[in-house]
Amino acid sequence: MTAHSSIKEGTPRVSKTKAAGIEFSAVNMTFADGTTALKSLDLVIEEGEFVVFVGPSGCGKSTALRILAGLEQATGGTIAIKGRDVTDLGPQHRDIAMVFQSYALYPHKTVYENLAYPLKIRGLGKAAIETAVAGVADLLGLAALLQRKPGALSGGQRQRVAMGRALVRNPKAFLMDEPLSNLDAALRVEMRGEIRRLHRRLGVTTVYVTHDQVEAMTMGDRVAVLRGGELQQFDAPQRLYEQPANMFVASFIGSPAINLAMAELGAGSAAVTLAGNAIPLPPSRRVEGQSAGPVMIGIRPEAFSYRRDLEHDVSLTITPDLIESLGAELLVHFAIPAASVPVALTSSAKSAVSQISLPGNAREVSTRFVAKLDARCAYAVGQEATVWFSTDHLMLFEAATGRTILASAPMLKLPV
């Protein structure tokens, strides 16, 4: 895969200044019932890095984390933590700490005992345990709750105890399996920031699993997008957004989801035709691997503008059929007469939405698009309007595979 070639290229790994924190080498996982959860996963996580595994359910992200923790035994490949091969070690010998989705607090132990448990197992003295627990309790604001049992805590407090139990010792890595998914929305945003700050402070390699692309984008130094047990792309969040390796990544990252439709690439790759509109491709961007024929086009909702300026040079005439207000911005929905892209190549939940067509035009070939426009545009439902976008923001994908075929666009400047 091209996306993570940056890791493999250049001089041998050993001579790098930073040692690899965690390394997956050709890890395979096939369950007893024959389902394949991971296909030859290769991934190197730098020491001290915060990496997020993201993907739809069943993509293998949790399995990858559980294999890293030693809770599942991979059917092939090796796992190394800080240069030590841990493939055949049980979880108790890997020196990692983990925060579970359900928190997995010990319900029969008090908060203090929960926090002390990992230290007690390591045979620390009473005084040392007390100091460590007090430190963590201070850090997370748990000092007043130490004598309570988990049953008497709120969801947010339980989450903090779970974090505390991981923080109390100095593990080689923190593993987090959707740790915020049981919290309400406001608390989730708050804890998101808190986990990031803790990571910056402690600098311990962290692997974080989530199905929420917003969490992935906001938290990860780098994000690994998985699908069907295969790594799609491993990159910094901004690069995932701007230079997705394929249509799946493009459709998974971003909200509202990227607009996708079938289009026709003109001879010599000079222009692409979308719903009858010929869109010239800028000479600065080369099409790789294909010269003409059907392709899939992607335009992010944020790439649209209601007015023409230097950046936005291509126009589309649309008829909005639904307008949702976000306050400063509007989500303007419209249909364009182009065929939809194959569901199999996108993240299915989002493409399902684009499949819905209104009863009136059920027979026409049409695809739903969304534009995120400045609220000043004052468009109205049913009234024809013009939206503009730039060819710099265009993405093209190979029809058969969904692979990105248009060379990277320059930095996308979003309206502030």
Sheet holding 76-81, edge to edge: 36-46, 20-30, 76-81, 84-85
Q: Which is nearer to another protein, 27 or 250 (CB)?
A: 27
Angle between helices 155-167 and 185-202 (to 10 degrees): 10
Closest approach of another protein to the CB of residue 123, in Å: 10
Q: Which among 15, 4, 16, 9 is positioned nearest to 43, based on CA atoms? A: 4
Angle between helices 155-167 and 111-121 (to 10 degrees): 20
Quick one: which of 30, 36, 47, 77 contacts another protein (CB under 8 A)?
77
90 binds another protein (CB under 8 A): yes
Among 96, 223, 253, 281, binds another protein (CB under 8 A): 96
Segment contacting another protein by CB under 8 A, of 63-71, 250-258, 320-328, 345-353: 63-71
Q: Which of the residues 187 through 226 are near another protein (CB under 8 A)? A: none
Q: Residues 30, 36, 75, 357: which binds another protein (CB under 8 A)?
A: 75
Residues 6+ apart with CB under 8 A from 125: none
Stretch of 98-106, 244-252, 367-375, 384-392 contacting another protein, by CB under 8 A: 98-106
Torsion sign (Cα): 88, 90, 91, 96? negative
Stretch touching another protein by CB under 8 A, among 46-54, 87-95, 325-333, 372-380: 87-95
What is the rounded CA–CA span in Å between residue 340 and residue 62? Answer: 31
258 token code pair? 């990227």
The residue among 101 and 218 lying less far from another protein, judged by its C-beta, is 101
From residue 198, give the alpha-carbon distance in Å to each of 201, 202, 222, 260.
Answer: 5, 6, 17, 38
- Reading across the β-sheet that carries 293-299, which strands appear in turn? 277-280, 271-274, 259-265, 293-299, 395-398
**152 in contact with another protein (CB under 8 A):** no
Q: List the one residue from 1, 16, 35, 83 that touches another protein (CB under 8 A).
A: 83
- Contact positions with another protein (CB under 8 A) in 117-146: 117-118, 121-122
Stretch that binds another protein, among 89-97, 223-231, 282-290, 338-346 (CB under 8 A): 89-97
Residue 73 lies near another protein (rule: CB under 8 A): yes
CA-based R_g, the chain, Å: 24
For another protein, which residue of 1, 18, 106, 376 counts as binding (CB under 8 A)?
Answer: 106
Is residue 181 a contact point for another protein (CB under 8 A)?
A: no
Q: What does 213-272 look like in DSSP terms, one character per residue?
A: HHHHHHH-SEEEEEETTEEEEEE-HHHHHHS-SBHHHHHHSSSSPPEEEEEEEPGGGSEE
In the complex, the smallest distance separating the C-beta of residue 134 from another protein, rounded to whole angstroms, is 19
- Supply the minimum distance, in Å, between the C-beta of residue 219 and another protein: 21
Identity of the residue, 7 or 292, whose beta carbon is nearer to another protein in the bound complex: 7
- CA 167 to the chain's CA centroid: 24
Cα 161 to chain center, whole Å? Answer: 26
Tell me if 214 sits within 8 A of 255, measured CB to CB.
yes
| 332 touches another protein (CB under 8 A) | no
Shortest distance (Å) from residue 79 CB to another protein: 9
42 interacts with another protein by CB under 8 A:
yes
Query: How many separate helices (H) and strands (E) can be counted in the chain?
Result: 10, 20
Q: Does position 102 bind another protein by CB under 8 A?
A: yes
45, 74, 132, 163: which one binds another protein (CB under 8 A): 74
DSSP state of 48: T
Beta strands per DSSP E along 135-196: 173-177
Instruction: Give min distance, CB of 8 to another protein, in A.
Output: 10
- The yes or no reply on residue 69 touching another protein (CB under 8 A) is yes
Interface stretch with another protein, choices 75-83, 139-147, 318-326, 372-380 (CB under 8 A): 75-83
Q: Which residues bind another protein (CB under 8 A)?
A: 12-14, 23, 25-26, 32, 40, 42, 69-71, 73-78, 80, 83-85, 87-88, 90-92, 94-98, 100-102, 104-108, 117-118, 121-122, 165, 175
